[in-house]
Amino acid sequence: MGLISNGTTVFDAGAMASGFGGSMVFIKKLTASSSSSLSFVNGSSDVVLDSTYKEYVFLYRDIHPSVDGPNLQVQFNDSSSNAVTKTSTSFYAYHAENDGTPQLVYVAGGDLAQATGPQPISLDITNQDDSSAVGYLHLFNPSSTTFAKHFIARGTHMHDNIAVLSDFYAGYCNTTSAVAEVVFNMQSGNMAAGDISLYGIA
Amino acid sequence: MGVISNGTTLLDAGALDSGIATGAMTLLSTVTASSSATVSFASGITSTYKEYIFKFYDVHPSADAADLTVNFRDGSSAYDATKTSSFFWAYHSEDDSDTTLNYASSNDLAQGTGVQPISSNPGYDNDQACSGTLHLFDPASTTFVKHFMAVSNSTEPGNYSINSYASGYCNVTAAIDGVQFKFESGNIDSGTFKMYGVK
């Protein structure tokens, strides 16, 4: 049953009509608890990661590593769970708690050149009790079978030199296959705590 | 027909009641480019929202390595608001031979009325394009300059990934009531542009 008010369709077929709801649609939240990875797989556990939206946003909050100094990283897979090839850029702004070594630099250790390995999005996170990493990752039009799939990540975290690291990563999945899986994990150890939420931009 | 629940009006006359919580980011308009010289949002930019967000997805040029640009309309019919801006980028080649993070003075403006680059040098190979986001703040203000910020990523003809950051302000006190995208040369072969209002 639909609902029409003054000639305007408000609800129909179990959904609110376009223009009534918000455009950032919550899809799924995963919570880490000594987790080796957090995976968002299209069609699994209520995850939507297909042509429904032109853009997906992952918000990661208070990701806390089990060991000192690993990178938080993300992997993009096709529908067969194969990691796709990526080229990316990486730079950060850095400032230590003791006021030392403020800098803005490109960091080759965080970029990829036609590689299938995971993409770092937070480098060298300390596992002090109050330390964590936060940020967001935008993935553009992952279902395209024409274009490379662009991504942009922006975050900040406590570095294991006891400093703030402001993170900037971007690049593209250099494939015309659709990206259907996004997997977050730590470079070593596990994700002791934290959560990641997935949103679609309608 | 309206809907009233427990004495509270939820919707009436085709609209949700203003007291009903909804999302804070509202899709206002979508434009799909097809060999388009420009993509313009010529209406709907008003004082209704304090911020407008423009998303662009898989914008593919007809000419190789033309910057995707934006310009702003400040009361006349022309998209030529005076702007001062900054621009920096990071890029990395697929063969891993070249990495850079630097300020790009060729893409900034100093009280210029021309277009503002927001995504650098996307190639026109079949799989190449650019995607990103532009924020425009309080465009209806007749007191303050109008700030904007953009971030994007592009696939460059020489097989580079380019991450571009542009920000600045329209140095006018007239309201901004239109936003126009185009490539610095050639057409927008394809791509999707969306405009959102943020409460």
- Going by C-alpha positions, the residue among A151, A148, A183 that lies closest to residue A75 is A183
Residue A19 has a pLDDT of: 58
Is A109's Cβ below 8 Å from some Cβ in B? no
Average pLDDT over every residue of B55-65 = 98
Average pLDDT over every residue of B20-48 = 92
| B83-129 tens-digit pLDDT | 999 999 999 999 999 999 999 999 999 999 999 999 999 999 999 99
The residues pairing with A76 across neighbouring beta strands, listed in sequence order, are A182
| A76-119 tens-digit pLDDT | 999 999 999 999 999 999 999 999 999 999 999 999 999 999 99
Average pLDDT over every residue of A129-156 = 97
* pLDDT band, very low/low/confident/very high, at B11 (cuts 50, 70, 90): confident
Residue B19 has a pLDDT of: 60
Contact A5 B2 (CB under 8 A): yes
User: What does chain B look like in DSSP terms, one character per residue?
Assistant: --EEETTEEEEETTEE-TTS---SEEEEEEEEEEEES-EEE-S--STT-SEEEEEEEEEEESSTTPPEEEEEE-SSSSB---EEEEEEEEEEETTS--EEEEE-GGG--EEE-S-EEEE-----STT--EEEEEEEE-TT-SSS-EEEEEEEEEE-TTSEEEEEEEEEEE--SSPP-EEEEEESSS-EEEEEEEEEEE-
Contact B26 A105 (CB under 8 A): no
| B20-29 tens-digit pLDDT | 656 789 999 9
Is A171's Cβ below 8 Å from some Cβ in B? yes
Q: Which residues of B fall within a CB distance of 8 Å from A18?
A: 27
Is A26's Cβ below 8 Å from some Cβ in B? no
| A2-52 tens-digit pLDDT | 777 777 676 676 656 655 668 999 999 999 999 999 999 999 999 999 999
Comparing CB atoms, the residue among B60, B163, B194 nearest residue A152 is: B163
Q: Which residues of B fall within a CB distance of 8 Å from A6?
A: 1, 12-14
User: What are the tokens at A88?
Assistant: 């990316």
- In SS3 terms, B29-82 reads as EEEEEEEECCEEECCCCCCCCCEEEEEEEEEEECCCCCCEEEEEECCCCCECCC
Q: Residues B196, B27: contact at Cβ < 8 Å?
A: yes
Comparing CB atoms, the residue among A5, A25, A172 nearest residue B153 is: A172
- Determine the residue type at A8: T
What letter does residue A79 receive in the DSSP assignment?
Answer: T
* pLDDT, averaged across chain A: 94
Comparing CB atoms, the residue among B11, B57, B151 nearest residue A152 is: B151
Contact A176 B127 (CB under 8 A): yes
Q: What percent of chain A has pLDDT over 70?
A: 92
Report how far apart, in Å, the C-alpha atoms of B104 and of each of A57, A103, B67, B108 are: 28, 19, 13, 7
Distance from CA of A63 to the nearest CA of B (A): 25
- Determine the residue type at B106: S
- Determine the residue type at A121: I
Average pLDDT over every residue of B144-169 = 97
Give CA A102 to chain center in angstroms. Answer: 26
CA dihedral B72, B75, B79, B80 (to 10 degrees): -90
Contact A141 B130 (CB under 8 A): no
Average pLDDT over every residue of A161-183 = 97
Burial of A177-187, coded b for 16+ CB within 10 Å and e otherwise, reads bbbbbbbbbbb
How far apart are alpha carbons B5 and A200 in whole angstroms? Answer: 30
Contact A20 B100 (CB under 8 A): no
How far apart are alpha carbons B22 and B161 in whole angstroms? Answer: 37
Comparing CB atoms, the residue among A21, A105, A168 nearest residue B22 is: A21
Q: Residues B83, B163: contact at Cβ < 8 Å?
A: no
